[in-house]
Amino acid sequence: MPDPIASPANPTAARVRALLARRDRRAEEQAFVVEGRRAVADALAAGGRPELLLLREGEPARDLPDGVPTRLVVPRVFDALSDVAAPQGVLAVFPLPEPSPPPGIPLVLVVDRLRDPGNLGALLRAAAGAGVTAVHLGPETVDPFNPKAVRAGMGAHFRLPLRRLDEAARTELRSSIPLRAATDARAALPYDAVDWRGPVAVIVGSEAEGIGPEAAALSTVRCAIPLAAGVESLNAAVAGAVVLFEAARQRRSPAVPA
């Protein structure tokens, strides 16, 4: 192994810092950073293969994949790369994953104008758990490969096809998904009164702004999660998870509408 990286100006350290900080750099290189032993382990379990590992000097090298270029980094430089309070000592650069949609009846998640990366990551984690087949992200939604979104996703990025919600995607959804349900706290239709067993898209917006005009035009119905008196709304990730797992519950029934 080469000598430890001891300067923040080292090209490898500078590259990782740019991938962590800049969406355009991640898009340009088609790569992103996963931080922490648990997150890297989740990525490996989902089939990801890193192209580079950075290990904080003094950290044990256990549970790391063989055959991947690995650099030790002195603690002060490693800790300056991380944006968490207590770095876990492992950073990995992965190519942007391209998982294939799983077989079965489509359950699509559309995310529009969700700007908090932690919320988005938590929603992606719930989507993976509920069996979502693809995720479409509106142009005003935070980058899913933002480090906070990646940490909150816990490997979901390697299990879900992530796509842009552009005009081609909207056209495809209109032609292939007849039921496109937007969550809306003001809607009269309860979410558990919707039949989620056929091809369906769940459209989730931000808690503050909801969905934008283009996502609203895409929807065919709006539904709400009934809340106790005095509670106005739920966190977007929580609301999305509630609806997605209701869809998953219904889909465990053998009776599927024609």
- Write out the two tokens for 45: 């379990």
Task: Read off φ and ψ for residue 46, nearest 5 degrees.
Answer: -85, 5
Question: 86 and 140 share a domain?
Answer: no
Question: 88 and 118 share a domain?
Answer: no
Q: What is the CATH number of the domain that holds 245?
A: 3.40.1280.10
CA distance 94 to 49: 6
- Exposed, middle or buried: residue 6 (CB in 10 Å: 0-12, 13-18, 19+)? middle
Q: Is residue 101 part of a domain?
A: no
Question: 49 and 113 share a domain?
Answer: no
3-state secondary structure 139-191: CCCCCCCCHHHHHHHCCHHHCCCEEECCHHHHHHHHHHCCEEEEECCCCCCEH
- Provide the domain limits for residue 171: 107-251
Question: DSSP 3-state assignment of 208?
Answer: coil
> Is the Cβ–Cβ distance between 203 and 179 less than 8 Å?
no
Q: Is residue 186 part of a domain?
A: yes
CA distance 34 to 140: 23
Question: 207 and 233 share a domain?
Answer: yes
Question: 80 and 192 share a domain?
Answer: no
Q: Give the predicted TM-score (pTM) of the model.
A: 0.92
Question: 46 and 150 share a domain?
Answer: no
Task: Read off φ and ψ for residue 182, nearest 5 degrees.
Answer: -95, 135
Low pLDDT (below 70) residues in the chain: 1, 254-258
Number of folded domains in the chain?
2
Whole-number pLDDT of residue 104:
87
Look at strands 52-56 and 107-112 and give their pairing: unpaired
Whole-number pLDDT of residue 258:
44
Question: DSSP 3-state assignment of 241?
Answer: helix
Number of neighbours of residue 11 by Cβ within 10 angstroms:
9
* Residue showing tokens 């558990």: 192
Whole-number pLDDT of residue 123:
98
Tens of pLDDT, residue by residue over 177-227, are: 999 999 998 899 999 999 999 999 999 999 888 899 999 999 999 999 999
53, β-bridge pairs:
70, 92
Q: Which of 60, 95, 130 is the last residue of a domain?
A: 95
Q: Which is nearest to 159 in space by CA: 132, 136, 137?
A: 132
